[in-house]
Amino acid sequence: MALSDEIDLKEMERRALTAYHEDGLLDIFWGGYLLFLGLVVFTPMEYRLIVVMPTALGILLYDRAKKRVTYPRLGYVKFTKEMEARVLRDTIIVIFVAWFVTLAGLFTNMGVPERASWLVLFLNRYNLLFQGGVLALIFLMLGRIMSISRLYHYSVISLLVFSAGYFYLDSPYIVSLQNLGVPCAIIGLIMVGIGASRLQRFIGKYSKEV
């Protein structure tokens, strides 16, 4: 295979991957999960462990929705194993690192002593901005990995919403889970709304194949 043919194949795969996410389902499910995370922090502690269940359920429902909405309209494309492995690997790495960094940031809120290192004190002081930056970075990296440009917009929205939350709080030194949950819920609601709008346009634009 010539080099130009290999480049064309990669470009075709990238465009196909982008087209498969025009339906807005990704926005709806990711936004729904952020909305769920934002609301679950207001429930009693013993109920917060159920946060794992919607993750597995969401993956199953997302796959089922794709089969009912997207595949009948665009057809089913089998991507190369190399591309599937790369997207899966990079996505797992981004999410794992993001969770680790987020948990590390949350621990800085738990009774930080004055003798703590400057980095811990810094994270404690600007924790809400830190968490917003992590979420923005997730959207930025996943947008690049999955070739979905609108994820870059969610990256900017995340920074704006968390920054607004930081300046709104009377005491930004104290960041509770509830204060973190509200920005997540707002971003999730925005994503669900945009996803629903995209889904409606997608269904109107493409008819099911007979």
What's the confidence (pLDDT) of residue 166?
Answer: 83
Give me the residue spans of the domains in the chain: 3-205
What's the confidence (pLDDT) of residue 3?
Answer: 45
Backbone angles phi, psi at 191, to 5 degrees: -65, -40
8 Å CB contact between 159 and 139: no
Mean pLDDT by 10 residues, the chain (210 residues): 53 73 90 84 67 68 87 73 70 69 54 58 74 87 84 94 82 64 91 95 78
Q: Is 11 helix (H, G, I), strand (E, B) or coil?
A: helix
Global pTM value: 0.79
